[in-house]
Structure 1
């Protein structure tokens, strides 16, 4: 059986990927203009909504297939820190009845940090590239 750490990080990587892919998809499917307007309403540059939505959508898919997991997880972690500080912190940990709290953001941030620290090679596209590079290195 595979190493328990690899199995654990695979689970985190896929769940984190699905979560962010869906969040990014919903931003576009629901009309990205709504997200742009909301960003502007909380004092963020509206076009930043496109950057966030693309990172969530493309990054989520990349995590699911295991492509650039450490880099993507770092970007998603930055998004979670930004979301917490700009939109969620004032609502408290569990929310204030008017909006969600930052407990989910914290959990997603923790998942992303675990992947940044440990990587996730099991069933990943990245492992295909690293195996090819190892083989090339051995032949030189």
Structure 2
């Protein structure tokens, strides 16, 4: 049974945690690797360099949407392709465990599951603009 008194707060915690993680990963690409360095890395994977800039913007927009609660269910689903991209281009070949050389795909997969849980659970407490009802 779901506790309807605390469930909205649990979803809020999940929403904030996911938003902060995406904010941190976008910040890593901006401040540590630099956008140009990230574009070079994407190019080394056979991807167009401009996709790095789109990814950074997508992560920042998604993080803001999750943290502020602006259509968070849709934002969660929109962020899944970013993580699938990391699995199929970077972490997948390294195996399952994230402590493998090159990082495995267990952490991005867990992140995808958390985003899907958020999309299914609802917007949570203090969402500024809840996802429109169908």
TM-score scaled by length of structure 2: 0.86
**Structure with greater Cα Rg:** 1
Superposition RMSD on alpha carbons, in Å? Answer: 2.0
CA distance in 1, matches of 2:99, 2:111: 20
* 2:71–2:123 contact (8 Å) kept in structure 1: no
- Count of aligned pairs between the two proteins: 129
Question: Structure 2: which 5+ runs fail to align?
Answer: none
The counterpart of 1:47, out of the listed 47, 50, 59, is 50
After TM superposition, list the pairs within 5 Å mapping 1:1-140 onto structure 2. 3-30=5-32, 31-95=34-98, 97-127=100-130
TM-score, reference length from structure 1: 0.83
The C-alpha deviation readout for 1:49-98, integer Å capped at 9, x for no partner, is 11111111121122111112122111211111111111111100114742
Q: CA, structure 1 residues 95+114, in 2 after alignment: closer, same or farther (shift >3 Å)?
A: closer
SS in 1 for 2:129: helix
Instruction: Kindly indicate whether the alpha-carbon contact (under 8 Å) linking 2:68 and 2:127 is maintained by their aligned counterparts in 1.
Output: yes
Unaligned runs of 5+ residues in structure 1 are 131-140
